[in-house]
Homo-oligomer: A and B are copies of this chain.
Amino acid sequence: MELATIRTAEGTRAAVRSGDQWLPLGAPHLSALLTDAAWRTTAQAALAGTAPHAVAPVAVDDAELVLPLPAPRKVICCGLNYADHILEMGRDLPEHPTLFAKFADTLTGPTDELAVPAAAQGALDWEAELAVVVGAELRNAGEEEARQGIAGYTLANDISVRDWQNRTLQWFQGKAWDATNPLGPVLVTADALDPEAGVEITCEVNGIRRQTGNTKTLVFSAPALVAYISQFTVLRPGDVILTGTPGGVGMGMKPPRYLADGDTVVVEAQGLGRLANTIRFTD
């Protein structure tokens, strides 16, 4: 099943895809939809045509997909998670995931311009990532419970302000700039996509391929990350976990190459669609 948040004349709506149409559901967005324990049934009823819909279907070609999950309570990110990249850097595989947090405010839509204030323009970098969307309340979950508790997957670009990230030991202040982390465009449910079997994720900047990674090389799989995090904090429907980025970021280039005003960054994966965001320097 493929879910999204679409813009309609009546405001944004959670929607489920049926062929070349998006069928709007009652909830205003996927954050709201997922808090209803019956969200799968609701979406399936719309697909089966057994649910009345208050808003007319929208053709896929005409639909504007916005930030699918505008209100996660938790956005938790993993660093250093692609085995091939870690090994090529000459490092040992980590025993534990490296984790940090960002906010709902950090997220933005799949085609939104990224407005970057002067203070963040010096070392702006890309990070293509698979994002996991939680679909159940999870506390101290084992890996199988965690797997069952994953609603599905989407794409993220963990845009990073490297100079701020490296000002101190803690990365947070380089990772939590408002409206800099594109997420979307769709939520593909876990029954329809298996990252452990392999999903290739790429990042292009102005049409030049910079990153290629396959999720089957993740040191910590999606269920492993969800289980690990749920040991210390409860996860709830709609929470988002970013799984880390493969090699090829701008900071690692010689010399480093950072994003400039007008650059377009595209993050893409088969079955998950694409994020395409243009950088706009402000101030």
Residues of A within 8 A of B (CB): 73-74, 79, 94-106, 117, 119-120, 140, 161, 164, 167-173, 176-178, 229, 231-234
Contacts and interface: CB of A to CB of B under 8 A. Distances in A.
Copies of the chain in the assembly = 2
Given A96-B167, A98-B170, 20 more contacts: A73-B103, A73-B104, A79-B170, A94-B168, A96-B173, A99-B170, A99-B172, A101-B101, A101-B102, A101-B103, A101-B172, A101-B176, A103-B233, A119-B231, A161-B232, A164-B232, A173-B229, A177-B232, A177-B233, A178-B233
B98 A168 contact: yes
23 contacts: A73-B105, A79-B170, A96-B167, A96-B168, A96-B173, A98-B169, A98-B170, A99-B172, A100-B170, A101-B101, A101-B102, A101-B172, A105-B234, A106-B233, A117-B140, A117-B231, A119-B231, A119-B232, A161-B232, A164-B232, A172-B172, A173-B229, A176-B233
A278 B99 CA distance: 28
Contacts of A231: 117, 119
B170 A120 contact: no
A105 B100 CA distance: 16
Contacts of A140: 117
A117 B232 CA distance: 9
Nearest to A236: B105
A104 B232 CA distance: 13
Contact of A232 (B74, B120, B168, B169): B120
A158 to B, nearest CB: 14
Contacts of A161: 232
Nearest to A230: B178
A162 to B, nearest CB: 13
A177 B233 CA distance: 6
A168 to B, nearest CB: 4
Contacts of A168: 94, 96-99
